Chains A and B, each alone.
Chain A
Amino acid sequence: MKTTNNHYDVVIIGGGVVGCAIARELSKYKTSIAVLEKEDDVGWGISCRNSGVVHAGFNYKSGTLRAQLCVEGNKSFAKLCHELDVPYKKIGKVIVAQKKEEIRELKKLKTQGEKNKVGGLQIIDSAELKRLEPNVKGIAALYSPETAITSPYLLTIALAENALRNGVSFFLNTKVKNIVKLKNSDFRINTNKGEFTSSYVINSAGLYSDKVAHMVEKDKYRIYPCRGEYYVLDKNASWIINHLIYPVPKAGTGGLGVHFTPTIDKNILIGPSNEYIKQKDNLSTTSQIMKMLSAEAQKFLPLISSRDIIRSYSGIRAKQAPPSEGGYWDFVIEESNSVNNFINLIGIESPGLASAQPIAKRVVEIINKKEKLSPNSNFNPFRKGILRFEEQDEETKKALIKQDPDYGEIICRCEKVTKKEILEAIDNPLGVKDLISIKYRSRAMMGRCQGGYCLTRIIELLREKYHLNPQDITLKGEHSSLLTGYRSDEVKIC
């Protein structure tokens, strides 16, 4: 599609998993699309910072969008990951009851799940639980074989890269300041990087979707940040559990309870906590919560030791339910009823990841009803990610090194990531240079030594590729430089 200046048919505000899924879905049609993302990279809001669980769909009230879209998303997730070359594993989940009263809750969840058309749900007794999970303490459980895990950041990146390849323009470091509805019914979107105009605006701004909505319509939505802290365990502890382990959820809280997630990379996540906080960007971890997570871990998995902890981090949920209420409101996926062609995605928290593609399809439907979109015959659903050397068999490894000796240099020793993979991560299609972006794409620095061995090497590779000065190497965003310059720069004596 042709664009004049910065005019696009559709501007998507927010490059999280939902925004990128929408971008990709729309690129299946002949439309010009731009994604405006305020951070250096996609997914830095909520999308990269959750448990990566592809929920089966029994946790949600029947008839809600959360229930429908989650089940739809779960069923098509394997295909999505296959197309995008993103890791996926149908690992299954057990919701573990430790008290008799909790079994009633398990049965309710099973019934709700079956109503939502979730397959394979079973209540299992302590003997079967022991067989599935010998190290977990519990008296019964709800077993959900359809629950899966993926890499939430690789998925977000893959969606973006595929959308990019299919013609979507990405504007990173682009923060929307205000939006004006023009007389010709287009929108003028003012950002720190200049003006855009568009026929449609899709507000997928996550934690700030309320703020973006208020740029065009009256105070209707409010997003309350609810933080969840996590511990990450060393891979050496991964033998302790085989499935996702959840407690029975408690009503009126902000989350699903502290659970134990085997990640697709074979770490275990403990968390998240749930705590309503004041600031939307406060990603600090706190000692009280960290103590609580350790205590919860001990309750269900006494074999976990604090020595296994390699890192903690946090993510923030975009909740519509106020702190006094807790719990969940349903997804808002609708065209504004006061402003034409302005589509709001509000309150996309769990199961937002599983539901991302169905949400995107719903948005396309909304536009299609009005525009009669014509298909883009050049759309290519496939995207190739960075080949993981460590996962290949020996013959393949030998062939890879022969073809490119950069595969023979292991830079991240803990995760066995080669120089080739890191170079590919550095040379990413979106052109992002932050260390955290290289980390997400290559897995380097995610191991037990947390970059102790590979950081200096990655800095050299980054500098070489982009001809950066030492002080231009950033961790995450422009104010996060690692170095002040060369050691031999001039100094004043203090």
Chain B
Amino acid sequence: MERKFVCIICPSSCQIKVEYENKTIKKIIGAQCPKGEAFVKNEIANPLRVFVGSVKVTNGNFKLVSVKTPIPIPKKYLKHIGKLTHSLEVEAPVAIGQTIALNLLNEKIDLVATRKVNKIIN
């Protein structure tokens, strides 16, 4: 089997061709650095992505705090995490990097805040 990838690690966006059988890679053509090679290996075996979403905030100057997983997670969980964020809520103030959720889906998937939210004083 053959598949073409556009590497997403850096803006060079190298076009890498991979020949593989089942999950065993036979050949990698076009990677310009070891990160690219690692990327395509992962894409075949266990594609990982950073999840980005939002969580409701109470008493904040923004209604939502943007969140992400601090490390890439298996692609297959993205939609589930998205759905889970709907039931989460956090109290303002929120600092960038603050943990919003831990060990989601029991898969050690955490969410951290990527926006600073101030508390509004009514």
One of A488, A489, A493 near B80 (C-beta < 8 A): A493
Flag whether B86 is at the interface (Cβ < 8 A): yes
Task: Tell me the nearest residue of chain A to B64, going by C-beta.
Answer: A487
Number of interface residues of A (CB under 8 A): 6
Let me know if B79 and A489 touch, CB within 8 A.
no
Let me know if A491 and B86 touch, CB within 8 A.
yes
Binding site for A on B (CB under 8 A): 54, 56, 64, 79-80, 83, 85-87
Give 1 or 0 for each of A476-494: 1 = CB within 8 Å of chain B CB.
Answer: 0000000000011111010
Let me know if B85 and A493 touch, CB within 8 A.
no
> Which residues from A are CB-within-8-Å of B87?
488, 490
Bound Cα distance from A491 to B81, whole angstroms:
12
Bound Cα distance from A490 to B83, whole angstroms:
7
Bound Cα distance from A487 to B66, whole angstroms:
13
A267 CB, min distance to chain B CBs, angstroms: 35
Let me know if B83 and A489 touch, CB within 8 A.
no
Task: Tell me the nearest residue of chain A to B89, going by C-beta.
Answer: A488
Bound Cα distance from A493 to B64, whole angstroms:
22
Let me know if B83 and A488 touch, CB within 8 A.
no
B79 CB, min distance to chain A CBs, angstroms: 5
Which of A488, A489, A490, A491 counts the most chain B CB atoms within 10 A? Answer: A488
A145 CB, min distance to chain B CBs, angstroms: 55
Task: Tell me the nearest residue of chain A to B80, going by C-beta.
Answer: A493
Not counting A488-B56, A488-B85, A488-B87, a sample of 9 additional A-B residue pairs whose C-beta atoms are within 8 angstroms of each other reads A487-B64, A487-B86, A488-B86, A489-B86, A490-B87, A491-B83, A491-B86, A493-B79, A493-B83
Q: From DSSP, what is the main secondary structure of chain A's interface residues?
A: loop
Task: Tell me the nearest residue of chain B to A493, going by C-beta.
Answer: B79
- Tally of A-B Cβ pairs under 8 angstroms: 15
B90 CB, min distance to chain A CBs, angstroms: 12
Q: Which of A447-494 contact B (CB under 8 A)?
A: 487-491, 493
> Which residues from B are CB-within-8-Å of A490?
86-87
Bound Cα distance from A489 to B64, whole angstroms:
14
A196 CB, min distance to chain B CBs, angstroms: 45
> Which residues from A are CB-within-8-Å of B79?
493
Task: Tell me the nearest residue of chain B to A490, going by C-beta.
Answer: B86
Let me know if A487 and B80 touch, CB within 8 A.
no
Let me know if A487 and B54 touch, CB within 8 A.
yes
> Which residues from B are CB-within-8-Å of A493?
79-80, 83
Task: Tell me the nearest residue of chain B to A488, going by C-beta.
Answer: B86
Which of B56, B64, B86, B87 counts the most chain A CB atoms within 10 A? Answer: B86
A486 CB, min distance to chain B CBs, angstroms: 8
Give 1 or 0 for each of A121-151: 1 = CB within 8 Å of chain B CB.
Answer: 0000000000000000000000000000000
CB-CB nearest 4 A-B residue pairs: A488-B86, A493-B79, A491-B83, A488-B56
Task: Tell me the nearest residue of chain B to A492, going by C-beta.
Answer: B83
15 pairs, A vs B, C-beta closer than 8 Å: A487-B54, A487-B64, A487-B86, A488-B56, A488-B85, A488-B86, A488-B87, A489-B86, A490-B86, A490-B87, A491-B83, A491-B86, A493-B79, A493-B80, A493-B83
Bound Cα distance from A493 to B56, whole angstroms:
20
A102 CB, min distance to chain B CBs, angstroms: 61
Bound Cα distance from A479 to B56, whole angstroms:
28
Bound Cα distance from A489 to B87, whole angstroms:
8
Bound Cα distance from A332 to B83, whole angstroms:
61
> Which residues from B are CB-within-8-Å of A489?
86
> Which residues from A are CB-within-8-Å of B64?
487
B122 CB, min distance to chain A CBs, angstroms: 15
Bound Cα distance from A487 to B56, whole angstroms:
10
Task: Tell me the nearest residue of chain A to B79, going by C-beta.
Answer: A493
Bound Cα distance from A24 to B106, whole angstroms:
69
Bound Cα distance from A488 to B86, whole angstroms:
4
Task: Tell me the nearest residue of chain A to B54, going by C-beta.
Answer: A487
B4 CB, min distance to chain A CBs, angstroms: 27
Bound Cα distance from A491 to B64, whole angstroms:
18
Task: Tell me the nearest residue of chain B to A491, going by C-beta.
Answer: B83
> Which residues from B are CB-within-8-Å of A488?
56, 85-87
Bound Cα distance from A363 to B121, whole angstroms:
60
> Which residues from A are CB-within-8-Å of B54?
487
> Which residues from A are CB-within-8-Å of B56?
488
